[in-house]
């Protein structure tokens, strides 16, 4: 993400996902114009890659959103961990709602 939008290389991939999802997963025919990615009714979330957290999470054998200063998440990493936690919690909530599960 850059300036709250995906970089151009990622945007090209994001634009390819909705029609492939509709045809391969939902079995729909892809006739007509697709809605923009952010207005797609099947969009559950748009997550950052959190590249700087991945090596720390792998070393600590923890999810990125559970990293602590003892794991090396210090300074700006703490903010990234908090953002990651919020993003994954939001995604989990949407997935749970879609399948009828109530989260605490």
pLDDT digits (tens, 9 = 90+) for 56-98: 999 999 999 999 999 999 999 999 999 999 999 999 999 999 8
Dump the DSSP string for 43-91.
Answer: --------TTTHHHHHHHTS-GGG--GGGT--THHHHHHHHHHHHHHHH
Question: Total domain count for the chain?
Answer: 2
* Shared domain check, 94 and 58: yes
Give the pLDDT of residue 53: 93
Give the pLDDT of residue 84: 95
* Shared domain check, 104 and 57: yes
* Shared domain check, 54 and 95: yes
pLDDT digits (tens, 9 = 90+) for 8-34: 777 888 888 888 999 999 998 888 788
* Shared domain check, 56 and 101: yes
**Structural domain span for residue 79:** 44-104
Query: pTM higher than 0.85 for the full model?
Result: no
């Amino acid at each position: 993400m850059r300036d709250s939008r995906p970089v151009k290389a990622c945007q090209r991939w994001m634009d390819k996902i909705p029609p492939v999802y509709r045809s391969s997963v939902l079995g729909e025919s892809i006739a007509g114009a697709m809605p923009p990615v952010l207005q797609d009714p099947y969009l559950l979330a748009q997550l950052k890659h959190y590249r700087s957290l991945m090596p720390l999470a792998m070393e600590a054998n923890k999810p990125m959103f559970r990293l602590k200063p003892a794991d090396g998440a210090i300074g700006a990493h703490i903010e990234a961990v908090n953002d990651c936690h919020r993003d994954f919690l939001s995604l989990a909530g949407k997935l749970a709602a879609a399948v009828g599960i109530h989260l605490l």
